[in-house]
Amino acid sequence: MPLRIIFMGTPEFSVPTLAALAQAGHKIAAVYTQPPRPGGRRGLDLQKSPVHQAAELLGIEVRTPLNFKTDDDREAFRALDADVAVVVAYGLLLPEAILSGTRLGCYNGHASLLPRWRGAAPIQRAIMAGDRETGMMVMKMEKGLDTGPVALTSLVTIGPDMTAGELHDKLMVRGAALMREALEKLEADDLPLTPQREEGVLYAAKIAKGETHIDFARPAQEVHDHIRGLSPFPGAWFELDIAGKRERVKVLASTVETASGETGTALFDDLTIACGDGSIRLTRLQKAGGKVLPADEFRRGTPVPAGTRLF
């Protein structure tokens, strides 16, 4: 028989999984998501999350508690009498009362090869660290942060120039299929659970504003991984003197080169910048308030001749 599910998620990454479970014929008793936040052009209008919008289109009840600290919120969850809760990028740590509030527990779709990259930013951290492989995992949740036993894994190769945005989209689709498979196995009482290894634990901390600045003193490969790991959001950046004013420029794509020179200096007129070891060519850029441009178009409006210093 189809399972009775509580779905918990917030961003675009979660939406394909919600859709896949609905299409599989499961009964989704309710969707939990983060409350509407200020947004829009002026930053004043309350914006519903992508999951909130998707659930409304599917005709599913939406709940947006700030947390589960009150007895009323916990009891309302338990009263749904669900078989299982499915969690994909919800954005809240769940208390024991919620983890044990369904018949079969809570299952999480996590975008890394656990125990590597537990935490908030596994996609970005994997690329920034130069990992060549990652994946989606379905794990049964317990009180610790991403510490529960793993049910299913789907491996994904990280290409040498793949950005966080590209990897996000690939894992998003892969995760939906994997969770659908996991619930089919759970429904048939055939879902394996394997404890995580104790070695190899790494934490994927949320990206801090201070670490988005590009440090050209690092080796070129590390600079390249830094750029693509933060592309398209929040974006790695440097500063450039433009018409006598220092302005911030985001870099959304790059390639590793072999030329060398003074660190942080343009070696040629094509935005090849010297790094601590080797160099990097910037291929997609964006000035504050401007459009993302290929390097050739950017240089037509903002020349960066050889010898220019980047900060």
93 is in an annotated binding site: no
Biggest alpha carbon distance in the chain? Answer: 69
Nearest to 48 by CA among 60, 59, 33, 58: 33
Backbone φ and ψ for 97, nearest 5 degrees, come out as -60, -30
Prior bond to 38 cis, omega within 30? Answer: no
Q: Is 225 helix (H, G, I), strand (E, B) or coil?
A: helix
- Residue of 54, 105, 109, 60 lying closest to 78 (CA atoms): 105
The reply to whether 260 sits in an annotated binding site is: no
Burial (Cβ within 10 Å: 0-12, 13-18, ≥19) of residue 116: buried
**Residues 6+ positions from 184 with CB-CB distance below 8 Å:** 24
Strand duo 84-88 + 133-140: pairing: unpaired
Say if residue 46 carries a ligand binding annotation.
no
Report CA-CA distances (Å) from 117 to 125, 126, 146, 272, 291. Answer: 7, 7, 9, 32, 32
- Asked whether residue 282 is marked as a ligand-binding residue, the answer is no
Annotated binding site: 112-115
Extract the annotated binding site for (6S)-5,6,7,8-tetrahydrofolate. 112-115
